[in-house]
Structure 1
Amino acid sequence: MSASRKTILIILAFFAIYVIWGSTYLLNKIAVTNLPPFFLASIRFVTASILIFIIAKISKFNLKISWPQLKNAAIAGFLFLTFGNGVVVWALKYVDSGFAALEISAQPLVVLILLRILQGKRISLMSYVGVILGFLGIFLLVGQKELLNQDGQIIGMITILCCMISWSYASIFVGKADLPSNHFVNTGYQMLLGGVFLGVISLVLNEPWSVPTIWPKEVQWAMLGLILFGSLIAFTAFNYLLKTVSPEKVATSTYVNPIIALILGWWILDEHISMQSICAAVILLTGVYFINSNRKFKFRSIGR
């Protein structure tokens, strides 16, 4: 591959993990206003997994999976997607998409704390600074009176926090779990199993199911974007960048995604951005930078 073509691919891949992943909060917010949350997430991940397996088969990837790998993929799929993503989609019924993205950007902070609790990992001085800034940013973000007075806002905040814990524990779990070696195939199994679990929950909760032909146009486009761009293209770009550039450069998506989500939520959905939210974003993302700049553990999140 020529140097110029490789450069173009890298630029396009960064665009995918910056803008496309940042826009998934907006797309989920649009879709969940018309569709039940667990049904929505189930359709997204089951469809995306089918497309992944079709592409993997065409590419002649090995789709075989052992029973221990299947069990681990089910656990990871539940933690990442069934709980970690499905419940966030539910929470978007009550909180703004930009707010949700900002709160979720604190995930590296949660990973660091869990590593300390579960594995006794030492925390560096720079990471301690990041933890303090992270807590301060979260406090400023969730402590806004105008937000606390909105119906369902508090439960939405708490729910997203629980989802962050689920994602973070899953990130630690997959680091040592026996899973398919091919990341594309591994993702396919996690999405399939996570999507099936979401479908079961949707049926248990008696959510109304519907066919895409009766959905509003904006919901159809949002779902298409979530499946093709959010689940397929962006994740493929993510894996490509991990093999092509340094992990630290890939991790910059942690800082850019919430900014993209805030801008799109304000521009398209007319979501309000307060000065306190902007200050909280700066402090929180600075804390995340300090944590990421010293971490040896590479956290993972496929719940976008």
Structure 2
Amino acid sequence: MTNSKNKWLVPLAFTNIYVIWGITFLAISFGLKGFPPFILSGLRFLVAGILMMGYLLSKGEKANSLINWKKNAITGVLILTGGTGLVAWGEQYVTASEAAISIATGPFWFIAIDRKNWKYYFSDKFIPIGLMIGFVGLIFFLKGSVNSNAAHAAANSHLRITAFVVLGLSSIAWVLGSLYSKKNPASQTTFMNIAQQLIVAGVAAFLIALFRGEWAHFSASNIPVSAWAGVLFLIFFGSIVAYLSYIWLLSVKPAALVSTHTYINPIVTVIAGWIVANQSINGGQLYGLAIILLGVLLTNVTKYFKLSKRSKVKIRRVRRFFNRAGKRYQPI
């Protein structure tokens, strides 16, 4: 029964992280029509975290370990407040498509920061080649973006450059949080860890909003319906459905396979932004996107070959089994 469930759960979960996280960048741009960036981030994280925490507590789970709260607080602030909150700030000055393409450079930052595994990374010739190609693609993309006349972009090119720098910092924060979480795992269920991370990240985002003066100029009475729709999508789909799908997939599928969302999300965002929000993307940005994705693909190509070899071995075993069965019962 479990295997039959996984047959449809796996493709459904992949669809969630491919499509939902691609649309999330567009949902943030809608949310920004009525919410300042860190109020928007705090609201989506805190509401999602409280909903998850309430459900888990009703099922009898405990959340009284201070050590686990501390570990999840650090992870949540880095990955969610820093990694995603800074994306919301950046999307004030760049389009959702541009933000998604910038985040596609995340795997490069992961390799650069994870010094402990440098020997492993750079023993693979494809990884440094992929890094160099990805860097060239980033230059092409930024060059095309600074000269872009996208409607959502700021008139001041310096603000756009600052936004791209901040988006780069958001990728670094996400990587730092991921590495910390891997080295310092909390001793409780994954769902409880996620709930605690969301709650702490939401509180941290609200505090940043207070420090930046966002609350002083915020009025809930002037929020358009499109902004509320963006917030609801971010809460239920971005912060709960897609995040849970991602964590579950990591437990049942190889990480290299799950990480393919990095390549698909920008494409989904570009298509969704063009269809829904009439967001344009120029030739220079498209060239940059293609080169960046090629670079990211090369940094993981060895992993994919290993997965492919394992799949071929399984296929050969199945074929041998049916060949033997066919010979055994061959009619005279």
Alignment TM-score, normalising by the size of structure 2? 0.82
Q: Judge conservation of contact 1:98–1:265 (CA < 8 Å) in 2.
A: yes
Equivalent of 1:185 in 172, 187, 192: 192
1:146 aligns with 2:154: no
Question: Which residue does the alignment assign to 1:70?
Answer: 69
Bigger radius of gyration, 1 or 2?
Answer: 2
> 1:178 deviation in Å?
4.0
**Structure 1 residues 53-92: aligned runs within 5 Å:** 53-67=53-67, 69-92=68-91
1:272 aligns with 2:271: no
Question: Which residue does the alignment assign to 2:308?
Answer: none
In 2, Cα distance between equivalents of 1:96 and 1:269: 10
**Structure 1 residues 248-259: aligned runs within 5 Å:** 248-259=256-267
Q: Judge conservation of contact 1:110–1:168 (CA < 8 Å) in 2.
A: yes
Larger displacement relative to structure 2 (271-280 or 129-138):
271-280
Structure 1: which 5+ runs fail to align? 297-304
In 1, Cα distance between equivalents of 2:247 and 2:178: 15
Superimposed CA distance per residue, residues 1-51 of structure 1 (whole angstroms, 9 cap, x where no aligned partner):
265443222222111101011110000011112211111111110001001
1:42 aligns with 2:50: no
1:45 is matched by which residue type in structure 2?
F
Question: Which residue does the alignment assign to 1:301?
Answer: none
1:90 is matched by which residue type in structure 2?
W
Would you tell me which structure has more helix in proportion to its own residues?
A: 2
Larger displacement relative to structure 2 (25-34 or 148-157):
148-157
Question: Which residue does the alignment assign to 1:299?
Answer: none
1:292 aligns with 2:300: yes
1:247 is matched by which residue type in structure 2?
A
1:196 is matched by which residue type in structure 2?
V
In 1, Cα distance between equivalents of 2:107 and 2:278: 29
1:133 aligns with 2:133: yes
Superimposed CA distance per residue, residues 169-199 of structure 1 (whole angstroms, 9 cap, x where no aligned partner):
2221111114243211111111111110111
Structure 2: which 5+ runs fail to align? 305-332
Alignment TM-score, normalising by the size of structure 1? 0.89
Q: Judge conservation of contact 1:33–1:93 (CA < 8 Å) in 2.
A: no
Secondary structure in 2 matching 1:270 = coil
Give the paired residue count: 293
In 1, Cα distance between equivalents of 2:2 and 2:79: 37
**Structure 1 residues 158-197: aligned runs within 5 Å:** 158-197=165-204
> 1:281 deviation in Å?
1.2
Q: Judge conservation of contact 1:78–1:197 (CA < 8 Å) in 2.
A: yes
Larger displacement relative to structure 2 (174-183 or 93-102):
174-183
1:100 is matched by which residue type in structure 2?
A
> 1:265 deviation in Å?
1.2
Superimposed CA distance per residue, residues 27-86 of structure 1 (whole angstroms, 9 cap, x where no aligned partner):
00111122111111111100010011122224433433233x322222222211222211
Residues 1:2 and 1:184: Cα distance change in structure 2 (over 3 Å):
closer
1:216 is matched by which residue type in structure 2?
P
Secondary structure in 2 matching 1:289 = helix
Superimposed CA distance per residue, residues 217-243 of structure 1 (whole angstroms, 9 cap, x where no aligned partner):
111111110000111111121122222
Q: Judge conservation of contact 1:63–1:185 (CA < 8 Å) in 2.
A: yes
Q: CA RMSD in A?
A: 2.1
Question: Which residue does the alignment assign to 1:302?
Answer: none
Q: Judge conservation of contact 1:97–1:265 (CA < 8 Å) in 2.
A: yes
Residues 1:172 and 1:266: Cα distance change in structure 2 (over 3 Å):
same
In 2, Cα distance between equivalents of 1:182 and 1:210: 38
In 1, Cα distance between equivalents of 2:34 and 2:263: 30
Question: Which residue does the alignment assign to 1:225?
Answer: 233
In 2, Cα distance between equivalents of 1:186 and 1:29: 28
